[in-house]
């Protein structure tokens, strides 16, 4: 697990970002050539709705995390996605505990990328599918470097 966390820090070149900390995310595998990642999230009870399932906004944030990191991986940390459109299909309820995500680049040009992601439970049951259109830009904006 320490290796996976170190890998996350290496990809971003800045350490683990606060959003990744809040989502309890860890990169398990990253394939630079294919533009794919596999991640793990630990969804806490604090993310639950009154139904006892993970609230949809937190699920969308997990999807946004796993869908965008392949761009960082493929570019060696130089580029990051700016979400133009994110479509999330909730197939099964997401429950507190371990959630696994897979993100892939479908097509990436110089300025625009098309991405896809899925979330699964520990048993491998599909929970969520998502697609995203992103603008490709620098991984770090100048004002955030200070």
- CATH number, domain of 33, equals 3.10.129.10
Q: Please choose, from the candidates 102, 92, 106, 97, the residue with its C-alpha nearest in 3D space to the C-alpha of residue 134.
A: 106
Residue 14's pLDDT is what? 55
Tokens (6 digits) for 28: 């398990």
Give me the pLDDT at residue 6, please. 44
What does each of the 146 residues of the chain score in pLDDT, given as a tens digit? 334 444 555 555 556 788 888 898 999 999 999 999 999 999 999 999 999 999 999 999 999 999 999 999 999 888 999 999 999 999 999 999 999 999 999 999 999 999 999 999 999 999 999 999 999 998 875 545 55
Give the pLDDT of residue 142.
Answer: 53
DSSP string, 57-99: HHHHHHHHHHHHHHHHHHTTTSEEEEEEEEEEEE-SPPPSEEE
What pLDDT, on a 0 to 100 scale, did the predictor assign at position 141? 59
Which residue's entry shows tokens 């006892």? 52
d(CA 121, CA 117): 14
> Domain range holding 43?
2-145
- Would you state the pLDDT for residue 8? 55
Residue at token pair 């966390």: 5
Structure confidence at residue 139 (pLDDT): 83
- 8: nearest Cα among 77, 58, 59, 64: 77
Say if CB 88 and CB 128 are below 8 A apart.
yes
Whole-prediction pTM:
0.87
Counting the structural domains of the chain, the total is 1
**Looking at residue 5, what is its pLDDT?**
45
């Amino acid at each position: 697990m320490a290796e996976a966390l170190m890998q996350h820090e290496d990809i971003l070149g800045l350490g683990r970002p606060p959003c990744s900390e809040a989502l309890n995310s860890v990169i398990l595998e990253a394939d630079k050539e294919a533009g794919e990642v596999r991640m793990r999230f630990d969804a806490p009870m604090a993310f639950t709705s009154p139904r006892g399932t993970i609230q949809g906004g937190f699920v969308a944030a997990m999807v946004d995390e796993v869908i965008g990191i392949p761009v960082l991986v493929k570019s060696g940390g130089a580029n990051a996605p700016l979400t133009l459109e994110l479509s999330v299909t909730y197939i099964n309820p997401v429950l507190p505990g371990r959630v696994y995500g897979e993100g892939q680049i479908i097509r990436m040009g110089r300025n625009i990328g098309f991405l896809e992601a899925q979330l699964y439970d520990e048993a491998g049951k599909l929970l969520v599918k998502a697609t995203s259109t992103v603008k490709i830009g620098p991984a770090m904006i100048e004002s955030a470097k200070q």
